[in-house]
Chains A and B, each alone.
Chain A
Amino acid sequence: MNNKLTQKLASGHSTCAGCGIPAIVRTVLAATDDPVVVINATGCLEVTTTLYPYSAWKVPYIHSAFENAAATAAGVETAYNALKKKGKIKKKINFVVFAGDGGTYDIGLQALSGMLERGHNVLFVAYDNQGYMNTGGQRSGATPLGANMETTPTGKFSFGNELPRKDIMEIVKAHHIPYLAQANVAYIEDLRMKAHKAFAIDGAKFLLVMQPCTNVWKFPTSQYVNVGKLATETNFWPLYEIENGKYNLNLEIKNPKPIEEFLKTQKRFKHLLKLENKEIIKNIQQDVNEKWEALLRKVQLSHLSELNR
């Protein structure tokens, strides 16, 4: 076991072979030297790290339910403030939430909104594997268009998920928190930088981290990094941050690859590569292009206003 990497989350957890979640967790938690308390939503990370009698957590950890990680974190942080005010605690402690996309985009959205609105000093990290993977791969608000999921299967009359992904970054941004960023486990140094930055800022912070799921996206267990890289190289998952309302691009892809390059690595999109679904791929590509251009405009606008100051 690597002693340095397992200071906060130990091995012995039961994440699927080839899962990227542990890399996200240890990278984020290693980005601060202060003590951390982890608040976890129900999901893959929770069930695989806390199976009684073994806890893989070497830092204080609480899991309450699926939808309330942000509210639980708000409670923990408020308790900390109350006890610090009374002199019962002296040390600085960081509070980090880990939730999947279900616990963020869908069932967790209300509690997340409340936590962001009130500005609790909490870092909320969403590991986004684009669906309910812990229960076998059902569609979530983060599932991309066209994905073949358990609740949106393909068939004679269906090409899979018919709904586009929810734009959680813009939803979170609308709460005017000081820092949020989109990251990707395949770009671990970028994730490290963002976690580092987030810990240094007071208030509510949000990291959306792509987490390619070997099990439900259906690619070989060895491929989470490569599949994740393609998500960014196709501009499907740009790396950017929003600091005090200003957009900043962390990696500009010079020659973005066509979206098929990403889609064809995963069996959840296999059906889209058939001739009859050509039009859908075209739509997906167009959607990627439009979102990318919209992001670029926001980035440019952010820097323009800086120049004008």
Chain B
Amino acid sequence: MEKGATIKHDPKKSPKTGEWRNVRPEVDPNKCTGCGMCVKYCPEDCIILKNRKNPSKFKKLAEINYDFCKGCGVCAAVCPFKAIKMKSEIK
């Protein structure tokens, strides 16, 4: 055991909180402007703005990492362009 319960951050020990999810956010690339509003408010820091492969009017596109996404839906709620939809994962 660690002396005095003093521990260190170790990503290998990290729970994958994506397991909590029963709805998943999905980004509509046609609507996403890459404004980053969802990134700012995502409680799990699981959204990244990626460079678009085929830059249109917008250079960036929100991409969600589902390892940690708990499916709260904040991203969908704050998106000014309604580009994120929550889809049920319950089969």
Classify A-B as touching or not with yes or no (CB < 8 A). yes
Given contacts A12-B17, A225-B74, contact A58 B43 (CB under 8 A): no
Q: Which residues in window 1-52 of B have CB below 8 A to A? A: 5, 7-11, 13-17, 20-21, 39-48
A19 contacts which chain B residues (CB < 8 A)? 43, 72
Asked if B41 and A188 make an inter-chain contact with CB atoms under 8 angstroms apart, the answer reads yes
B70 contacts which chain A residues (CB < 8 A)? 17-18
A222 contacts which chain B residues (CB < 8 A)? 72-74, 76-77, 86
Chain A contact residue count (CB 8 A cutoff): 35
Closest to A22 in B: B43
Residues of A within 8 A of B (CB): 1-2, 5-6, 10-15, 17-23, 26, 50, 52-58, 188, 214, 220-226
A22 contacts which chain B residues (CB < 8 A)? 43-45
Asked if B73 and A54 make an inter-chain contact with CB atoms under 8 angstroms apart, the answer reads no
B77 contacts which chain A residues (CB < 8 A)? 222-223, 225-226
Asked if B48 and A23 make an inter-chain contact with CB atoms under 8 angstroms apart, the answer reads no
Report the Cα distance A299→B20, complex, angstroms: 46
A57 contacts which chain B residues (CB < 8 A)? 9
- Which among B10, B45, B72 is the interface contact of A17 at CB below 8 angstroms? B72
Asked if B43 and A54 make an inter-chain contact with CB atoms under 8 angstroms apart, the answer reads no
A58 contacts which chain B residues (CB < 8 A)? 9
- Which among B17, B21, B39, B45 is the interface contact of A14 at CB below 8 angstroms? B17
> Does B88 reach chain A (CB closer than 8 Å)?
no
Report the Cα distance A214→B43, complex, angstroms: 12
Asked if B14 and A12 make an inter-chain contact with CB atoms under 8 angstroms apart, the answer reads yes
Q: Beyond the given A1-B65, A50-B7, could you list 5 further A-B residue pairs with CB under 8 A, ordered by the A residue number?
A: A5-B45, A10-B14, A12-B15, A14-B15, A17-B43
